Structure 1
């Protein structure tokens, strides 16, 4: 099985790494951009694409898919979804799945034209599924499987905390408030910079990078807090940063909230404006302890941050226990749900509209003829892992 992803950078890259570790199949990965952390013990190919409609990338992907004789192609992120589905159909791959981790400013006609070349699209949230339906993608071609985290990966480590704070230049007793994510305007990290000016004695660390970084650095100077705002850059895995923090904050109104889930798994109090899993728990009157949803009041963020630091002082700096939003947002559930999607589409006849592949010899030495069950599923006679 071949996974094609636009980039291995967080957070989609981390979702893919967590997924392939748990899928009981032979997995390979193609990244369409340089950088990022590849999955452990999984072959990784690099085919660097320069734009969404790069025909050279499609040709390279088609060649790889033909020579690899994959049973299924799973694409991730917009660029890979567009180019990967075209290449898979040209290569005669019988089963094609796509995952939309998020949908930003994309070319809708191009997306819809290539969406028909796959069999099903996995939406990483209900909001993404709603947007796909609004675009005209039929409901029968959409399934929602929420993004997920492995709580164990973010377990608090006091030694890692000390080392990371020393690297950042933050003293042991200094309250450290943190935010994690791409520096885009809709993440509203500017609100955190303005808020830290009203939280005396605290330091803010913003982990990530993106087009808004220069504006955020300039704002810190304007607000007079440049000496209390740290920009360590993007990291492959934010575990050490969560260990170094005392409070996590996410003022974005449009976020799914994966970083907030990582923070509570690391034992942090979490202040958020938008986090779908935490909001679901709060609506069900089973809120995750140590989490607080911000109101629309502009004073809500600095006021809540000051309150969390008072609670921190009352705990004498003690860490909160690791928490989660439930098994639905765990990586085991993610892998099991994706596996069921694979099984469901493998029971359907493969579509080969562009380049029919009448027969070929499989990787394991047995002939295959495009049968309904030509894709290996758990319990079949074909080796899966």
Structure 2
């Protein structure tokens, strides 16, 4: 907990709860927001349900203290009373709780103290891969002071739960790297993709499309995930081994995207693409599948859309854009991307938090000290 300010009031404490902490877009959004809110007078403590080693390291890179509950518990999608009870003492001294993903805000709703505002964020469509928990979600939604919905599917979900329109707010993510310069030695021309190597991202469709182009461009697949090995094998089968490169997960993809000929987002589902907005901000043409929130992101001529699951159409559009046909004017994309800098997003959340909080007392609450931190203090 930070020291009291000179005015005798403590900085405001946000307990941020996340269903699964891994290297993904929702997690980066939460961590970037936590870092940006320091300038607005907020301290953040992060409590994770599931966590990977890479996710814990990512939190450390943003200097956000984190405690984790479990591994492989599917707490993005599943309600857990054990997780709720683990959270209870950790939320007791928070000024506001912001929970990301259903399992996190369900658990927080069960134990957050009366008078402490609870807000939720959903970053993805709710597909319920581990059982239908709509009834539990609807019951927990009544405790929410606000619901930040990232994309049309999340907005529809909040509405279906009965969250009042006044409490349904636009979820906004911070994107950084708009000042990136290309790394030396990158191939040119080149196509880029950035995201998890997961079926929902449609990277396999991109490979099939590249194989249909007579002289396919060098393509960088920035990211990691469960499909890495199968994508590597498929690129060899398609004769693309020397054209498709997998550098792995990179924290700053802008250095690869900057100066690219084209950035492709071939997703099967996508609430809002951080990599698409990064490319727009860098002046790189964006080609995406017309699913969920991507038509909004690329509206008003900011990018080019093709049907999902259609390698032929994707190949045609890649070839057209690489030959300079139908390339969007970069100016509208740069203007749109400028809305998602830390300087724009942090005040949006800070103002919402302050509006929801009761008037803060001059005397601080007794802070929760984790067993690990208490042990460290005794050493």
- Counterpart pick for 2:364 among 352, 357, 362: 362
CA RMSD of aligned residues (A): 3.4
Deviation at 1:248, TM superposition (A): 0.7
Matched, 1:132 2:158: yes
- 8 Å contact from structure 2 (residues 147, 158) kept in 1: no
User: Rg bigger for which structure?
Assistant: 1
In structure 1, C-alpha distance between the alignment counterparts of 2:175 and 2:287, rounded to whole Å? 18
Structure 1 residues 87 and 49, CA gap change in structure 2 (3 angstroms): farther
In structure 2, C-alpha distance between the alignment counterparts of 1:41 and 1:252, rounded to whole Å? 28
In structure 2, C-alpha distance between the alignment counterparts of 1:274 and 1:307, rounded to whole Å? 18
Structure 1 residues 93 and 28, CA gap change in structure 2 (3 angstroms): farther
Aligned counterpart, 1:197:
211
- 8 Å contact from structure 1 (residues 3, 27) kept in 2: no
Unmatched tracts of structure 2, length 5 or more? 1-13, 368-379
Question: How many equivalent pairs are there?
Answer: 330
Aligned counterpart, 1:292:
304
Structure 1 residues 146 and 64, CA gap change in structure 2 (3 angstroms): closer
Structure 1 residues 40 and 185, CA gap change in structure 2 (3 angstroms): closer
Matched, 1:333 2:333: no
Aligned counterpart, 2:184:
162
Structure 1 residues 232 and 17, CA gap change in structure 2 (3 angstroms): same
Secondary structure of the 2:239 match is coil
Unmatched tracts of structure 1, length 5 or more? 166-171, 351-358, 366-385
In structure 1, C-alpha distance between the alignment counterparts of 2:348 and 2:240, rounded to whole Å? 46
- 8 Å contact from structure 2 (residues 278, 337) kept in 1: no
Matched, 1:74 2:98: yes
| Bigger shift: residues 333-342 or 272-281 | 272-281
In structure 1, C-alpha distance between the alignment counterparts of 2:356 and 2:318, rounded to whole Å? 48
Structure 1 residues 217 and 40, CA gap change in structure 2 (3 angstroms): closer
In structure 2, C-alpha distance between the alignment counterparts of 1:136 and 1:214, rounded to whole Å? 42
Deviation at 1:223, TM superposition (A): 1.9
Partner deviation per Cα, 1:325-351 (whole Å, 9 max, x = no partner): 255444433323222322332259x9x
In structure 2, C-alpha distance between the alignment counterparts of 1:282 and 1:300, rounded to whole Å? 17
Structure 1 residues 330 and 43, CA gap change in structure 2 (3 angstroms): closer
Aligned counterpart, 1:220:
235
- 8 Å contact from structure 1 (residues 148, 331) kept in 2: yes
In structure 2, C-alpha distance between the alignment counterparts of 1:31 and 1:196, rounded to whole Å? 41
TM-score (norm 2): 0.74
Matched, 1:103 2:119: no
TM-score (norm 1): 0.73
- 8 Å contact from structure 1 (residues 58, 83) kept in 2: yes
Deviation at 1:263, TM superposition (A): 1.2
